[in-house]
Structures are given as C-alpha cells and as structure tokens.
Amino acid sequence: MAFTRVRSAAVRGAAVCLMALSTANAVAKESIVDLQTRPGITQRMLYVEPDTPPRAAAVLIAGGHGSLKFFPNGSMGWGEQGFLVRTRGLFAQRGIAVVVIDAPSDKRSGLGGFRDSAEHAADIGATIKWLREQTGVPVWLIGHSRGTESAVSAALKLGAALAGPDGLVLASPISSDSSFTSGKAVTHLPLEDIRVPVLVLQHEEDACSVTAPRDLPLVVDRLSGTQRKSVIKLGGGKPVGDLCGHQATHGFGGLDQPAVQAIADFVGP
C-alpha cells in the first residue's frame, strides 16, 4: 500500500440538455442529463466533458443529504461549494469525464437512510453504465464524506465491472457513527470484500468528528481484498467555516488543485 502526505498552503433512458453551461472552472462543456435508473424513477445529473477524449471517467457523489436539486440550466439549490461539486471542472481539465449525481426523483428530500439501499446501488449502476457508453473508458466512483457510504455500498452490491466501478476514491470517509445525520459509517460495511483499486484521501487535520484522522486505520486496514490501495493525506490549505463544512479541512478548503491532482494521478492510466 502506498502512503503519501502532501503539504500545500445521450443514451436510451436519458433526456439530455445539450447546451453548454458556464462554470467558474472553465470546463469544455456541461450538460444536464435526466437518466431513467429504475422503472418510473429518474436521476438528474450534471455531465462534464473534457476538451479532449477522456482518459478516465468518474461518478462524483456529494456528501451531506445529497440532494443538490439541479435545475435544467445546471444551477443547483444546494451544495454548490461541496468539494466534488466545486472541483468538477478541475477533473475535466485533467482529462477525466465526470457526472455529478443528484438525488433520484423518489428521494428529492435527501439520501439519509437510502445510501446503503439496493435502489441507490441500482441508480449508481445505471449511471456507471451510461458513463461507460458515453466515454468508453474505465469508470470510477468518487465519494466525499457521506458520499463515501454511497460509493462503498454501491461497489459492494454491484460487484466487479462491467456492472460495478473500476475503482473507488474515498475522500474524507465516514469512519464513525453520527448523531446528526442518518446513515452508516463505511466501517459498518464489508470493506474486505472490495476487489477494485481504492484511494483514500483525507486532510491530516480533518476536524469533523465522524471523519477523524485517528480513525482512518479503521477504514484502510479493512481494505484487505484489493491489490491496489493508497492513502494520501493533505495538509495546509485555507479552511473556513463549520468543522464539517464545505470549505473546512473536512472539505479540503484551499486545496482544490492538489486534492484533484492526487485523485487524477491515481485514477488515470
């Protein structure tokens, strides 16, 4: 296992909105996709394409309650400053096509208590399939905070590719139970059954109680079934706000470039 510390101050079932959407990260093109993932259920997502043919692809799964409430023009009602949402353009700049997924149409109020369900795994599986068909490259699941529960649970339920992801990135993984939000810590899931490559990314001073750095071995040591895993700890940055907030150490505040680069280096061929 590698350990690194970095210090630094249109497819069937989918309705695609093909207009280019402006972003602060100057990506090539963004489009809104409404994908049918289960009978009668759709999942809206924001698809971000690189300027050049992608070298990899990823499903970005936000933390918190997970209901971004995307509008048809690509704006959103919540979570715009979340780590994976705000950095989506940086992934595209590095040749990685991404989709940022919203809560499905039957869970618009949020994903609390739903992230470990078979239905959520089905939604993510349909997204993986769609993204593979669009890009023809390996597809990774990248979850941040509570999104790591979604990523791990879906990978376990979907199994190996082609149904499941080609790999996982767990950024600020939930390592202990929470009293302020429903869901499971990833330590309650059978991590030893994961067979795909896994990168664990965390700020070495993460002050959020449910992602404490001292508990990271509870996650990493259980990833015994994969032949490729790595842990990268970032330091520094310019954290602000709530300890578990978007721009805190928990959300890699001030570290967008090194955080995305670390992920891209692991995900890319």
Q: Over the stretch 179-235, which tens digit does the pLDDT of each residue have?
A: 666 789 999 999 999 999 999 999 999 999 999 999 999 999 999 999 999 999 999
Cis peptide before 201 (omega within 30 of 0): no
What are 31-59's pLDDT values in tens digits? 999 999 999 999 999 999 999 999 999 99
**Residue 168: its pLDDT value, please?**
98
* 106 C-beta neighbours (distance < 10 Å), count: 14
Helix (H) or strand (E) segment spanning residue 96: strand 96-104
Q: Is the pLDDT of residue 10 over 80?
A: no
Q: Is the pLDDT of residue 103 over 80?
A: yes
Q: What backbone phi and psi angles, to 5 degrees, belong to 233?
A: -110, 125
Average pLDDT over residues 145-156: 97
**Residue 16: its pLDDT value, please?**
46
Average predicted confidence (pLDDT) for the chain: 89
Which whole-number Å values give the CA distances from 70 to 67, 90, 105, 148, in the listed order? 8, 20, 11, 21
CA distance 206 to 212: 6
- 244 against 56, higher pLDDT: 56
Architecture of the structural domain at 2-267: 3-Layer(aba) Sandwich (3.40)
pLDDT bin (cut points 50, 70, 90) of residue 6 is very low
**Residue 181: its pLDDT value, please?**
65
Tell how far CA 144 is from the center of its chain. Answer: 5
**Residue 175: its pLDDT value, please?**
95
Q: What backbone phi and psi angles, to 5 degrees, belong to 85?
A: -75, -50
CA distance 28 to 249: 29
Q: Decide: 59 and 128 in contact? Cβ < 8 Å.
A: yes
